[in-house]
Structure 1
Amino acid sequence: MLCLLLTSHSANAAQDGSHIQPDNFYPRVKLETTMGDIVVELDRTRAPRSANNFLRYVDKRSFEGTIFHRIIEGFVVQGGGYDEEFREKPKFPPIINESGNGLKNDMYTIAMARENDPHTATRQFFFNVNDNDSLNPGRDWGYAVFGMVVEGYDVVDAMAQVETFYKATIGWADVPREPIILTKATVLPPFSPTTEQSATNDGDTQP
């Protein structure tokens, strides 16, 4: 019985996202949306639980078909939790809040959304579209940053400026009038500056 329990525990642990590019501390994920593509670089060194949690939703293709349901210009672009009919998507158990990791909720960072309880983050995330000091930890828990946008800044900017409205049927404010859909999320091959530089230097070179 003990062997079975240990095997089961190991299998569950292996599916927490840490099995995805396990030797890559800064995995990159491409988010394809109806407004364009965004690439985020995750930080496993400072936010391992949050980064791995995000990766497992990507690995399960669970972000595909979700919407960015809450947008406040000059504040956040939030999504990852609902489909186009505003039905909540299945989620893994909540993770521990890593807001004390030293990463700040600065412009173009990606962070975990949560409820009032600090340890309730599951699958929703948001892009900071300002330096949001109010979301950093102080006397209370903050919101855990686990990476940053490295490509597609213009897409994030455009998202932040879309028209929003109060959706009376569900009682939510700040809902985009035209749905913004996350159509595909893909873990990219490990980033290699040396490889990219070699490819750039193929053929004729300029002084």
Structure 2
Amino acid sequence: MKFKTMLAATLLATGLSAMAADAPKVKFATTAGDIVIEVYPDKAPKTVDNFLKYVESKHYNGTIFHRVIGNFMIQGGGYDEKFYEKPTRPPVAHEGEVVQANKGPRNTTGTIAMARTNDPNSATAQFFINVKDNASLDYATRPPGYVAFGKVVSGMDVVDKIKSMPTGAGGPFPTDVPKTAVVITSATIVK
């Protein structure tokens, strides 16, 4: 019995390692340092496809983290340093139920999710990285939730640096804008 349990655990760990090795990764080079995100197309296929298309089209290059709430999340991907909103493609269909059914990531520390309005089907290019466990954003806790589709695998220290920056008003936003701009200089798919 012990052997079967150990074998099952080994196979599971090997399978998870293989899945992680195959998961696409995106490197955000920022003025605060590099952040590498691993995304899961098997858990949230439409969301990941949408995100990777924005990466491939260089949409994120030159955008800023425009909303930083130190005990919640850091948000970026929509505005340049002058607070011009970049044009986007049509919104992606919300996949909260899909992520739940696929046992996808929850909104825990270090996961990335799509930002949206109150309309669950309004996510376009903006994303946020959770800086704490935000179970209240999960489909399981409060449908429709926010679709987490990957996680930080390198550069969590950079995320922590950004979340700790002083914030205030900036552009059209009355609060939560870093006083020193954090610019995504490039976003690239890496192996």
Q: Could you say which TM-score interval applies, normalised by the shorter chain? A: 0.7 to 0.9
The AA in structure 1 aligned to 2:154 is E
Give percent identity, aligned residues only.
48
1:188 aligns with 2:190: yes
Instruction: Quote the offset at 1:26 in angstroms.
Output: 1.4
The answer for the alignment partner of 2:23 in structure 1 is 26
The answer to whether 1:142 aligns with 2:145 is yes
Structure showing the higher strand proportion among its residues = 2
Whether 1:132 and 2:134 are equivalent positions in the alignment is yes
Q: Does 1:174 align with 2:176?
A: yes
Residue-by-residue CA offset, 1:107-150 (whole Å, 9 max, x unaligned):
00000000010100000000000000111123431000010000
Which one has the bigger helix percentage? 2
Q: Could you tell me whether the CA contact under 8 Å between 2:96 and 2:143 is conserved in 1?
A: no
Larger radius of gyration: 1
Q: Secondary structure at the match of 1:55?
A: helix
Which TM-score applies when normalising by structure 1? 0.77
Say whether residues 1:162 and 2:165 are aligned partners. yes
After TM superposition, the structure 1 stretch with the greater mean CA deviation from structure 2, 50-59 or 133-142, is 133-142
Of 69, 77, 80, which residue of structure 1 is paired with 2:74? 77
Of 79, 93, 96, the match for 2:93: 96
Whole-angstrom CA distance in 2 between matches of 1:42 and 1:171 = 29
Taking the aligned partners of 2:25 and 2:142, their CA distance within structure 1 comes to 32
TM-score by length of 2: 0.83
Equivalent position SS for 1:162: coil
Change (3 A) 1:180 1:91: same
Equivalent residue, structure 2, for 1:43: 40
The aligned length equals 165
Gaps of 5+ in 1: 1-23, 190-207
Q: Distance in 2 between matches of 1:139 and 1:132?
A: 11
Q: Secondary structure at the match of 1:52?
A: helix
Provide structure 2 residue ranges, at least 5 long, that are not aligned to the other structure: 1-20
